[in-house]
Chain A
Amino acid sequence: MNTNISRGRLNAKKIAPPGLSLLALILLSLLPIFVTDYTIIKINSIISFVIIAVSWSIFSGPTGYISLSTAAFYGLGMYASAILGNHLPLPLVMVISGIASFIIALIIGVITLRLRGVYFTIFTFGLVELLRNLILWLEIKFSGTRGRFVPSVDFQQVFYCILGTLAIILLISYLIKRSRFGLALIGIGESEDAAAHIGINTTLVKVLGFSISSFAVGAVGAAMATRTNYIDPGIAFNMLMSFMPVLMAIFGGMSTIPGPIIGAAVFAYLEELLITKVPEYFMIIFGAIMIIAILFLPNGLTGIAGKLFKRRKGAGKNANT
């Protein structure tokens, strides 16, 4: 990609250097040697949130189309795992589930992406509820049951699958951010009309963006279903799953790649910490922390990092003159 683009203002925000991420991934993959099993399980769950938050912000970050459909693809992934898990190895189930999510998102995208703003948001939200109720109804009416067991998979295998997905989604996210496609997504977010009139096929870009951001969610859903052992429509299509990535991305700061990563990691860790240390007051403290964090870090966690950085640079400049 031409330097003129990456030198510009938008890309000036530090993109996580791929080398550093690679190192982090390698360290993570060596983790099982050093830490306890439960730590792996915990990190596994945190990483799954990171993947979801990063996926979400691939599309919703630049375009401003706030999607609440994460739970739909996550749930589909869980069902894929419950249905296929007995016959196929987990990585394959994840790939199938990811591709299925991609295709379904493609179809949904074609139908919905002419909606704008909150209308799109609510539509995607409705999608989750629709799927939940539809599957519930189908299960009751036709299979006469409601839940399903998910074939269990060794947690280390799940961990490496999740880690692999993380690597893939980070790579995709990084590539998109640097590509013409990523620029088109930003353009759509800034002014969709203008974007269309300078030759950007907005429908195609949006639909593709939406589908790419759904792919990994489906895969993660399939992997994480093996951690819950048992699912039913209420468990698989859980609204909170749709809200989480939004909260995490805003919490971390939306416009950069590290934002959602940090947001998701801090958020998930904090929750785990509170839930085990102060289960009785967890909700109150968690809510209060959220409010305080937003009030004092309105640009998310990475926002303060950016501000500190700028201030130091500014101070340096002043000192020179």
Chain B
Amino acid sequence: MSNKILQIVLEGLIMGGIYALISMGLTMQYGVARILNVSHGEFIMVGAFITWMLTTMAGISPLLALIICMPVTFLIGYILHRTLYKKLKDLTPSAGAYEGNAMLISFGLMFIIQSVAQKIWGSSPQGYKYLTFSFKIGKTAIAVNRLFVLFVTIIISVIFYFFLNRTRMGKAIRASSQDPAAAGMMGIKINRVMAICFGIGAILAGIAGSLLSMINNINTSMGMNYTVIALIVVVLGGLGSIPGSLVGGLILGFVGSIVNRIDTSLYMVVFYVLIMVLLLVRPKGLLGR
């Protein structure tokens, strides 16, 4: 019995942690930069493939590859915002129209990134072995690579939390998400902050991708699934709420690990029913206002 509970908790934490990372990334992008980034999952895929390439071809440890991934994905995100989205912003005066158009642009990006990736890396599943051994707690076998992923997720979340709550840039980001115009009046360079947020969103996606590649095989069309999960978690948690994303991601992870034990194929059904019921009870998400 206690074995089962331990398994459920670990499983829930591991997948929930990854979902949370992904969703926090999307929250950064939507909450501040107002971009419902449909290509978010593609950044996950890119992160995963960079890690895979560095690991299998250059023989670098996946952990090191993950660290290399961070500046790369950040730069892609930052530059994309500084060019495309900045230009769009200058061209679209109304906030509503900007949101719609920004989503369209990210659709275009999704097509392009996925297709380019497919040209480079192909469409077949890829993978590598990393820490594929286990130890036992009681009767429960615990895979070390998954535990490691959990560990990294926790560290990243803590760093991210401190960044947002304790640093000057973090506070500027939060302020911008609540009232961008007033943030501008404080002397915050709002365009830069948005680009940074977009970049951070991309980093979080990249990290998630890296981590996923350590425990799962990857392929170039994997992105969309994660985009969907991120969208749902972000709304479940409450738009723009970073803690909401964290909680939402973990809930999703736990629901998954519990339902998996009852009937794996009901997983998605239960999950969506849960989301819909929750939204009806709390129309602004768990931690939304």
Contacts and interface: CB of A to CB of B under 8 A. Distances in A.
Nearest to B238: A119
Nearest to A117: B239
Interface string A291-306: 1001110110000000
A134 interface: yes
Contacts of A111: 280
A295 B283 CA distance: 33
A133 B228 CA distance: 14
B231 interface: yes
A286 B114 CA distance: 12
A298 B112 contact: no
Nearest to A291: B108
B6 interface: no
A129 B272 contact: yes
B75 interface: no
Contacts of B269: 130, 133-134, 137
B182 interface: no
Contacts of B107: 243, 247, 287, 290
B112 A119 contact: no
A133 B232 CA distance: 16
Contact of A127 (B88, B231, B276): B276
A73 interface: no
Contacts of B285: 119
A254 B94 CA distance: 14
Interface string B88-128: 10011000110011001101111110111000000000000
Query: Majority SS of interface residues in chain A?
Result: helix
Nearest to A286: B111
A287 B112 contact: yes
B36 A118 contact: yes
A126 B276 contact: yes
Interface in B226-249: 228, 231-232, 235, 239
B92 to A, nearest CB: 5
A123 interface: yes
B102 to A, nearest CB: 9
B169 interface: no
A116 interface: yes
B265 interface: yes
A194 interface: no
B9 interface: no
A288 interface: yes
A116 B283 contact: yes
B227 to A, nearest CB: 10
A275 B101 CA distance: 24
A104 interface: no
A250 B104 contact: yes
A129 B25 CA distance: 22
A288 B108 contact: yes
A114 interface: yes
A119 B109 contact: no
Nearest to B91: A298
Interface string A250-261: 110010000000
Given A119-B284, A122-B235, A239-B228, A130 B276 contact: yes
Interface in A62-92: 64
B58 to A, nearest CB: 27
A137 B265 contact: yes
A130 B280 CA distance: 15
Nearest to B101: A294
Interface residues of A, number: 42
B215 to A, nearest CB: 23
Contact of B88 (A134, A250, A251, A295): A295
A284 interface: yes
B279 A295 contact: no
B87 A295 contact: yes
Given A123-B276, A137-B265, A250-B101, A290 B232 contact: no
Interface string A84-105: 0000000000000000000000
A283 B112 contact: yes
Contacts of A171: none
A126 B232 contact: yes
B60 interface: no
Contacts of A291: 84, 105, 108-109, 112
Interface string A129-142: 11001101100110
Contact of A284 (B91, B97, B112, B273): B112
A283 B91 contact: no
Contacts of B105: 290-291, 294-295
B112 A114 contact: no
A126 B272 contact: yes
A24 interface: no
B101 A298 contact: yes
10 contacts: A122-B232, A122-B275, A126-B232, A127-B276, A130-B269, A136-B265, A254-B100, A284-B116, A290-B108, A298-B88
Interface of B: 36, 84, 87-88, 91-92, 96-97, 100-101, 104-105, 107-112, 114-116, 224, 228, 231-232, 235, 239, 265-266, 268-269, 272-273, 275-276, 279-280, 283-285
Given A250-B101, A298-B91, 14 more contacts: A117-B239, A119-B279, A119-B285, A125-B228, A129-B268, A130-B268, A133-B269, A140-B265, A250-B100, A281-B115, A284-B115, A287-B109, A290-B108, A299-B97
7 closest A-B pairs by beta carbon, nearest first, are A287-B111, A283-B115, A290-B108, A130-B272, A287-B112, A133-B268, A291-B108
